[in-house]
């Protein structure tokens, strides 16, 4: 009986943790990136999942990009992820908030941001 209670309490704890994580995620805004090669612009928006409202938080010209880099950060909140940084000629560094767990995906995002005519990256960088 004691063994059953222990397994049952572990399952309940796991379910409560997952539910709390899901609810917390609803209140954390996602970041969307939209770049247009033909217009030479990139916009970074913050999007609230619950209300659906978006807010422009940064914009820059594609021609102002000096370098795009992805760095592996093992101490990130995502317990090890590749963060993407945009380095501009004016010295400004823009960190894209979400990361990805694969270096190949991070490189794909960097390449597509510069080379795709209408590049859109919605909220979750983990999923291609």
Q: What is the pLDDT of residue 42?
A: 92
Q: What angle do CA 60, 65, 68 make, to 5 degrees?
A: 115
* pTM as predicted: 0.69
More confident residue, 24 or 87: 87
pLDDT category of residue 28 using cuts at 50, 70 and 90: confident
Q: What is the pLDDT of residues 42-87, one digit of tens each?
A: 999 988 877 778 899 999 999 999 998 888 777 655 566 888 899 9
- Rounded to whole angstroms, the Cα distance separating 4 from 12 reads 12
Q: What is the pLDDT of residues 99-118, one digit of tens each?
A: 777 888 888 888 888 888 88
* Proportion of the chain in helix, strand, coil states, percent, rounded to 5: 35, 40, 25
**Residue 45 phi, psi (nearest 5):** -115, 150
More confident residue, 12 or 42: 42
- Rounded to whole angstroms, the Cα distance separating 37 from 61 reads 9
Q: What is the pLDDT of residue 65?
A: 93
Cα-Cα end-to-end distance for the chain = 46
């Amino acid at each position: 009986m004691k063994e059953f209670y222990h397994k049952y309490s572990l399952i309940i704890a796991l379910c409560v943790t997952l539910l709390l994580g899901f609810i917390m995620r609803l209140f954390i805004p996602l970041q969307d990136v939209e770049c247009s090669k033909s217009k030479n612009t990139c916009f970074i928006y913050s999007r609230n999942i619950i209300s659906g409202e978006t807010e422009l938080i940064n914009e820059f010209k594609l021609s102002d990009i000096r370098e795009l880099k992805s760095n592996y950060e093992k101490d990130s909140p995502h317990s090890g992820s590749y963060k993407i940084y945009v380095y501009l000629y004016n010295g400004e560094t823009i960190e894209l908030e979400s990361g990805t767990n694969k270096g190949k995906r991070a490189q794909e995002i960097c390449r597509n941001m510069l080379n795709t005519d209408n590049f859109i990256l919605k909220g979750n960088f983990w999923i291609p």
